[in-house]
Homo-oligomer: A and B are copies of this chain.
Amino acid sequence: MKTIINDLHKAFESRVRLGIMSALAVNESLDFTALKEYLEVTDGNLASHMKALEKEEFVGVKKTFIGRKPNTMYYMTKAGKRAFEEHLNALEALIKSQK
């Protein structure tokens, strides 16, 4: 039990962050609006979670232009991918311990 909980990453506790990482795991990159609509969260809520994930270096940012309009794309870093996989494995172990 102790081990299972210790293997859960604090950065992924929130539902929204689980959603962000899940979405970025199956899409090479997504922009802010796509993530926001996907997860049905407010700008402020998403922005604060993105900032936290960027700070952990689990998510990277790519600034591009669509025509003249700046566009911010988010992607999952290698460290993020590894940490998220570990987190999912720990969750899986916890679920298995309950069945």
Contact = CB atoms under 8 A, between A and B. Distances in A.
Interface of A: 1-2, 4-5, 8, 10, 13-16, 18-19, 22-23, 25-26, 38-40, 88, 91-92, 94-95, 97-98
Given A92-B95, A98-B26, A98-B88, A19 B39 contact: no
A87 to B, nearest CB: 10
Contact of A2 (B14, B38, B88): B38
Nearest to A39: B5
Nearest to A89: B95
A78 B31 CA distance: 42
Contacts of A39: 1-2, 5
A22 B94 contact: yes
A49 to B, nearest CB: 12
A93 B97 CA distance: 16
